[in-house]
Amino acid sequence: MKLHREGYLIIAIATVIIGVLELGNFYLLKLLGWTWLFVLISLVLLTFYYLVIQFFRVPNITPVFGENDILCPADGKVVVIEETEENEYFKDRRIQVSIFMSPLNVHANFNPISGLIKYVKYHKGLFLVAWHPKSSTDNERSTVVTEHKSGKEVLFRQIAGAVARRICYYVEPGQRVETGSEYGFIKFGSRIDLFLPLDTKINVKIGDVVKGRITKIGELSN
């Protein structure tokens, strides 16, 4: 387990703020004899601090995958599996698989396949709740397309939500990536959409709880 670099500054700021609040809590309540209230507030502050730290955790996982496997790019829950029109890059029909990330999930994002990055684009947008039907097209988001060595392409999109206010990604066109390697991070929430070829074998179903770099979303056909 390690802490993600995107969390260093936030954790440092939280440490200072909570430290000051706890010091004030001690002098205002503990020394005045309000021990029960002092303990209650201390527990609330420690819980909040724990939640901030755990949000930026990244488990040490060694991905295991086959040549055509599509690994899950994020921890979360599968909320959409459907055939739909992808209008930004492919402009044709694809299988969409969407994974919702709650604030308690790991929020690092990982490359679902190995290959060559063909397309990267960031879009400013709204901050609708992540399960809103229009969040995929109207919210702040980033789109990445990777070409597998078979020539097939997979699009995956980070989508901000009502709480998430910053999308981070670390790939660029022309870069070669490995399945399970980190490609981005979403601060405080949201979801990942994958758009897969229609002949992809899907190995998950709606409602499944999935793990980044562990769960096999599907397989590209030969």
**How far is it, in rounded angstroms, from Cα 85 to Cα 201?**
18
Number of helices (H) and strands (E) in the chain: give both, helices first.
Answer: 3, 16
CA dihedral defined by 81, 65, 109, 106, rounded to 10 degrees? 90
DSSP label of 189: -
Catalytic residue among 135, 136, 190, 221: 190
Q: What phi, psi does 27 have (nearest 5°)? A: -70, -35
Q: How far is CA 117 from CA 141, 146, 189, in A?
A: 17, 4, 25
Q: Is 190 a catalytic residue?
A: yes
User: What number of other Cβ atoms are within 10 A of residue 203's Cβ?
Assistant: 14
Adjacent-strand bridge partners of 209 = 77
Name 105's Cβ contacts closer than 8 Å, sequence gap at least 6: 74, 75, 76
Residues with a catalytic annotation lie at 190
